[in-house]
Amino acid sequence: MRWLDKLEESFLALMLAGMVSITFTQVVARYIFNYSFVWALELTGVLFAWLIFIGLSYGVRVGTHIGIDILTRALSPSIARWVGVVASALCVVYACILAFGGWQYVMKLYNVGILMQDLPIPQWMPKMVLPFGFGLLALRFLGIFYRLVTGQGGALLGDEAKDALKMREEMEEAKP
């Protein structure tokens, strides 16, 4: 799965770089050359959608999604683990339902054949991010589910307090 992690990170960086480049070029063209690319806003929106939907799985992988864990912290570790197993299983089911619904939506767009407003491509192409992004999200939740069931660790949420303390220690060590 390391190759998938690297591919995901590279793809997210590429989407962000593309958005920044297109937006910067559009601003320069508009305010310096009094010219505008009609497709720039729509392409930036498409790249942003891909960034968000692929970023969902990245957030799950690195544990940066927000959540309320006051109940699970009050439970014993073994019970909290099984609550995590149930929660991750529900997340897998939910992501699969959304991936399937996204696939149905994309297929309807494919059959209709409508083009995007400013870009000469069919609408179904950029919207493939729906089944793809939710499928990747299901895969990430499935990984957490597997690690929890087999006792290899894993969590649905990160520990912000622990991360903040670790960052504080690193900053203090870096001071001369």
Determine whether 84 is exposed, middle or buried from the number of CB atoms within 10 Å of its CB (0-12, 13-18, 19+).
buried
Please tell me the pTM assigned to this model.
0.81
Interval 99-108 mean pLDDT = 97
User: Confidence band (pLDDT; 50, 70, 90) for 68?
Assistant: low
Q: What are phi and psi of 119, to 5 degrees?
A: -110, 140
User: Confidence band (pLDDT; 50, 70, 90) for 12?
Assistant: very high
From CA 133, how far away is CA 18, in angstroms rounded?
19
State the DSSP string of 55-105.
HHHHHHHHT-S----HHHHHS-HHHHHHHHHHHHHHHHHHHHHHHHHHHHH
pLDDT of residue 171: 79
pLDDT at 142 over 70: yes
pLDDT of residue 162: 66
pLDDT of residue 40: 93
From CA 84, how far away is CA 78, in angstroms rounded?
10
pLDDT tens-digit map of 41-51: 999 999 999 99
pLDDT tens-digit map of 123-136: 999 999 999 999 99
pLDDT at 67 over 90: no
Which token pair is 24?
């910067």
Interval 28-50 mean pLDDT = 93
Interval 70-96 mean pLDDT = 85
pLDDT at 156 over 90: no
pLDDT of residue 152: 81
pLDDT at 4 over 90: no
pLDDT of residue 137: 95
pLDDT at 31 over 70: yes
Q: Which residue has the higher pLDDT, 34 or 162?
A: 34
From CA 175, how far away is CA 170, in angstroms rounded?
9
| Residue 115, helix vs strand vs coil | strand
